[in-house]
Structure 1
Amino acid sequence: MTTITDRLALAQYRISQAAKNSLREPDEVKLLAVSKTKPNSQIIDAYKAGQRLFGENYVQEAEAKILSLSADYPDIEWHFIGPLQSNKTKIIASRCDWMHTVDRQKIALRLNEQRPDTLQPLNVCIQVNISQEASKSGVNAVDVLSLAQQIDALPNLTLRGLMAIPSAHVDSHTATEELAALQQLYQSLAAQYSSVDTLSVGMSNDLELAVAHGSTMVRIGSAIFGARD
């Protein structure tokens, strides 16, 4: 039976090979370990294996883990990667280091207002509905630059880039088209804002294709921690 340490090493190897195959440096792509539904003990195991970036999808679960672990593991970087209701923004604004799923001005304004002055600005990514699926959150590509301008004007937020979840179970041509469109959008954003350096896309099943299309942060859960509880 493989351990979390083994699976982390394999994930890092896949990222490294994908980067090399795309003529990129391996350290250009960060690994975000998605620890949703997993116990603190598994996060600690991953931490001991060298992992520092962890992603959570559920507000209350994220808060509980951060409160429980931050004293002993203060260098963990906490990323919120799930949908966020406006009545729960204060928890994310006060507890997390990153927020990947900003998809409307109202959420950005609340995060900005509720970010404590004692903390550095919250790093945020705009979630893009690159596949234009009605069931998915995210702004349409044509609205990204407008939302980016609004976020950039907020002093307690730092615009870092884009996040997306491409279509699942589609042919490779469709997946490639979506990721190419996302990469082009990201490059346009990075050309306008010096703070933009993050393209958060790619998961266990498609990280190689994502890295080939410019991903700088892949979100890996099951390949590290096993099937979701």
Structure 2
Amino acid sequence: MENPDTPLEHVQMMIAKACKVARRNPGELTLIAISKMHPAAAIEPLLAAGHRVFGENRVQEAQEKWPPLREEHPAVQLHLVGRLQSNKAADAVALFDCIHSLDRPSLVSALGKAMDKADRRVPCFVQVDVGEEPQKGGCPVGELPALLSAARKADIPVAGLMCIPPLEIEPAPFFALLDKLARDNGPDDGSWGLSMGMSGDYETAIMLGATHVRVGTALFGKRD
């Protein structure tokens, strides 16, 4: 696909190239198309092209936008990538197939109760504050073992770790840190995923072990 016709084809080509350099199988990568603040009309071309994994930042926006799209495309997997308020835990468990922003004990408690009530276990990535930026959310690195222990006790399936590196700083060291934290705290079989990399840096993230890349602008263009 040397001359991609669409943004989706271009991103897929770049993922394949990064995987080739990293000697990885592109099948190991999940491309999450971040459709936040984009209308259904912008999402439909990706659905028509066969893409089925999408991400949203806000529960309410996803509730308004996705039910009719999922009726037509039931195989869609919907990921919540934005910060989650504890009082929205039940709504998130009902709507999303994966949550990428588990970051504090109060949310562990709220999600555990919501999953018990719904009898539905939703895989969660634990968001880590690798850049020490509390405003972004994320569990401080030093508190990660305790949070993981709490998640296990609440019977929350941990899919891996997630991070958002600081803006305008080389992201590679932060991606490498997340990979190390996963190896130090995750299962021995290395089955944890790494949710890291966005439109500007997903190729770097792939080189450093990302399993899930969250790409919005490169697929949909800039938001209004």
Once structures 1 and 2 are overlaid, which stretch shifts more, 68-77 or 50-59? Answer: 68-77
Matches within 5 A, 1:30-179: 30-115=30-115, 120-155=120-155, 157-170=156-169, 172=170, 175-179=171-175
**138-147 or 93-102, which deviates more:** 138-147
Write the distance in 2 (CA, Å) between the matches of 1:200 and 1:33: 13
Q: Any idea what SS the aligned residue of 2:179 has?
A: helix
CA deviation after TM superposition for structure 1 residue 16, in Å? 1.0
Is the partner of 1:162 in helix, strand or coil? strand
Stretch moving more, 23-32 or 64-73: 64-73
2:180 corresponds to which of 184, 209, 221: 184
CA distance in 2, matches of 1:152, 1:196: 16
* Counterpart residue identity of residue 81, structure 1: V
Q: CA RMSD in A?
A: 1.9
Provide the rounded CA distance (Å) in 1 between the counterparts of 2:117 and 2:51. 28
Q: How many residues align?
A: 221
Are the counterparts in 2 of residues 130 and 178 from structure 1 also a CA contact under 8 Å? yes
CA distance in 2, matches of 1:5, 1:70: 26
Please give the secondary structure, in 2, of the residue aligned with 1:70: helix
In 2, Cα distance between the equivalents of 1:143 and 1:90? 25
Structure 1 residue 20 and structure 2 residue 16: aligned?
Answer: no
Contact between 1:14 and 1:208, CA under 8 Å: does it hold in 2? Answer: yes
- Greater CA deviation, 11-20 or 111-120? 111-120
Q: Please say if 1:227 is aligned against 2:222.
A: yes
CA distance in 1, matches of 2:209, 2:80: 21
Q: Which letter does structure 1 place at the counterpart of 2:149?
A: Q
One-letter amino acid of the counterpart of residue 22, structure 2: S
Partner in structure 1 of residue 212 of structure 2: 217
What displacement does 1:118 show?
6.2
| Deviation at residue 66 of structure 1 after TM alignment | 2.6
Q: Is the 8 A contact 1:101 1:125 kept in 2?
A: yes
SS in 2 for 1:47: helix
Conservation of the 8 A alpha-carbon contact between 1:80 and 1:98: yes
- Distance between the aligned counterparts of 1:148 and 1:195, measured in 2? 16
> 5+ unaligned residues in a row in structure 1: which ranges?
none
User: What is the percent sequence identity of the aligned residues?
Assistant: 33
Give a deviation string over 1:10-64, Cα, whole Å, max 9, x none: 1111111111111111111110000001111222211111111100001210111
Q: Distance in 2 between matches of 1:117 and 1:136?
A: 29
